[in-house]
Amino acid sequence: MSEPFTYSTPQKVWITKHALDGGVYSAMAVLDIRKGHKIAITKFKTNFPQFYQPGEWQETLESALRKAELMREQKLKSLVKVISIIEQMQFKIKDEVA
């Protein structure tokens, strides 16, 4: 048997899931508290519920900004690695196969 839903009263949260694409935004959400973690449920921009897992939203603006900065740093490291790989690429002309 599944655990019953336990919802908090609506509260303001900061969504960081798409921080690198659209920035951090605030939304009113209820928190579904089950199995030791919280899932934020919002109706931001649509009438359909949107679910955010732990790590995709923050309870304070300060933690949201820290999370966004961490995401930015990780993306920059990833891009530096990709740039290095592309810089080392060498192209060779292959003979045409008949």
* pLDDT tens readout for residues 46-87: 678 888 988 999 999 999 999 999 999 999 999 999 999 999
In contact, 15 and 42? CB cutoff 8 Å: yes
Q: Are 29 and 40 in contact (CB under 8 A)?
A: yes
In the three-class reduction of DSSP (H, G, I as helix; E, B as strand; rest coil), residue 31 is classed as strand
pTM to 2 decimal places:
0.75
Question: What confidence tens digit (pLDDT) does each residue in 6-31 have?
Answer: 677 888 999 999 999 999 999 888 88
